[in-house]
Amino acid sequence: GAGVSQTPSNKVTEKGKYVELRCDPISGHTALYWYRQSLGQGPEFLIYFQGTGAADDSGLPNDRFFAVRPEGSVSTLKIQRTERGDSAVYLCASSPSPGEYEQYFGPGTRLTVT
């Protein structure tokens, strides 16, 4: 079946602008995760959802970052007043439920802030 999809695949924006990154999880997966991966590093946790609610947002770096999942499926990561340090690959993953552990990743969105 279809895997996790993310759009756009690449996003270039100017410092100070607002961006939205979208994630479509595997159908039926109730848990959804966002990670950020800088060049040469492992992914770093940002936030995860169980259904529509954010179960853990402890990885969000500051209040410029926000994520929603209004219908328990598609999720959008929103970044306000982007900074050059926000440049990274933003990865989304889903799993059948948090307790089942296995997380399946999408291809990521490469964000470049100029």
Partner 1 sequence: GENVEQHPSTLSVQEGDSAVIKCTYSDSASNYFPWYKQELGKGPQLIIDIRSNVGEKKDQRIAVTLNKTAKHFSLHITETQPEDSAVYFCAESGGTSYGKLTFGQGTILTVHP
Instruction: Give every CB contact of residue 17 below 8 A, 6+ residues apart in sequence.
Output: 81, 82
- 31, 67, 79, 113: which one binds partner 1 (CB under 8 A): 31
State how far the Cα of 68 lies from the Cα of 53, in Å rounded to an integer.
8
Q: Which two tokens stand for residue 5?
A: 């999809």
CB 19 within 8 A of CB 11: yes
Stretch that binds partner 1, among 21-29, 69-77, 79-87, 97-105 (CB under 8 A): 97-105
CB 66 within 8 A of CB 57: no
101 binds partner 1 per the rule CB under 8 A: yes
Residues contacting partner 1: total by CB under 8 A = 26
Single out the residue of 81, 79, 95 nearest to residue 36, CA to CA.
Answer: 79
Looking at the Cβ atoms of 12 and 16, the one nearer to partner 1 is 12
- Min. distance of Cβ 9 from partner 1 in angstroms? 9
Looking at the Cβ atoms of 19 and 91, the one nearer to partner 1 is 91
Binding site for partner 1 (CB under 8 A): 4, 31, 33, 35, 40-45, 48, 50, 55-56, 59, 91, 93, 98, 101-108
